[in-house]
């Protein structure tokens, strides 16, 4: 009988441990996705390699950095156009602020947006193979803002596979 109680206790502990893992996994829930495209902010993107920095003039007045996953980095290194499926580009943007320590320098101020482009030529066939996501404070912008993505990219960078960012040597 004592062995039975020990075995039962072990099974109960195991089930509680498995339940805790399941609850911890489900508690976070699904990542918020952009309307229209269903794009999410990729896990670990802050550790991705820098493709290029940029400065956006008024009225936005932002400092920006574009990073890419391994597929994107290899495509840039190879000069591959169109970008291959699996390419993911993430643009981080901050308000442009003058450095308090060194007057000629700029520093990032408050974060403004995280913008994501995902290349999947089948899933996003109707939008040039790209899905778009624009996030403010980790939440997707509204559908109206997402409706402007494709038109802007088509009007300005149609001949560069809809991608503005160029590789910074």
CA of residue 140 relative to chain centroid, distance? 11
Is residue 109 domain-shared with residue 151, that is, in the same domain? yes
Is residue 124 domain-shared with residue 86, that is, in the same domain? yes
**39 falls within a domain:** no
What digits encode the pLDDT tens for the residues 10-56?
333 333 333 333 333 334 568 999 999 999 999 999 999 999 999 99
Is residue 137 domain-shared with residue 111, that is, in the same domain? yes
Is residue 63 domain-shared with residue 123, that is, in the same domain? yes
Q: Report the predicted TM-score, pTM, of the whole model to 2 decimal places.
A: 0.82
Closest CA to 146 of 34, 33, 31, 32: 34
Tally the domains of the chain: 2
pLDDT of residue 2 exceeding 70, the answer is no
Is residue 51 domain-shared with residue 127, that is, in the same domain? yes
Is residue 85 domain-shared with residue 151, that is, in the same domain? yes
CA torsion sign for 69, 34, 41, 113 is: positive
Is residue 14 domain-shared with residue 92, that is, in the same domain? no
Domain interval for residue 9: 1-30
- Contact between residue 118 and residue 85 where contact means Cβ atoms under 8 Å apart: no
> What confidence score (pLDDT) does residue 9 get?
33
What digits encode the pLDDT tens for the residues 62-77?
999 999 999 999 999 9
Is residue 16 domain-shared with residue 71, that is, in the same domain? no
* Residue 78: C-alpha distances to residues 50, 53, 87, 129, 156 (Å): 16, 20, 13, 20, 23
**38 falls within a domain:** no
Is residue 64 domain-shared with residue 130, that is, in the same domain? yes
For the domain that residue 55 is a member of, what is the CATH number? 3.50.70.20
- Between CA 46 and CA 91 the distance in angstroms is 10
Is residue 51 domain-shared with residue 26, that is, in the same domain? no
């Amino acid at each position: 009988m004592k062995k039975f109680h020990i075995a039962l206790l072990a099974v109960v502990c195991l089930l509680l441990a498995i339940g805790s893992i399941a609850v911890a996994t489900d508690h976070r829930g699904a990542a918020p996705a952009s309307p229209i495209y269903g794009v999410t902010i990729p896990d670990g993107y802050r550790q991705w390699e820098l493709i290029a920095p940029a400065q956006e003039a008024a009225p936005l007045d932002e400092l920006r950095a574009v990073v890419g996953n391994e597929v994107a980095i290899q495509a840039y290194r190879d000069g591959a156009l169109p970008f291959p499926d699996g390419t993911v580009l993430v643009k981080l943007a901050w308000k442009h602020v003058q450095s308090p320590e060194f007057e000629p320098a700029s520093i990032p101020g408050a974060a403004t947006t995280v913008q994501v482009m995902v290349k999947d030529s089948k899933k996003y066939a109707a939008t040039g193979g790209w899905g778009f996501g624009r996030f403010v404070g980790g939440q997707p912008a509204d559908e109206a803002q997402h409706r402007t993505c494709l038109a802007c990219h088509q009007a300005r960078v149609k001949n560069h596979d809809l991608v503005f960012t160029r590789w910074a040597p």
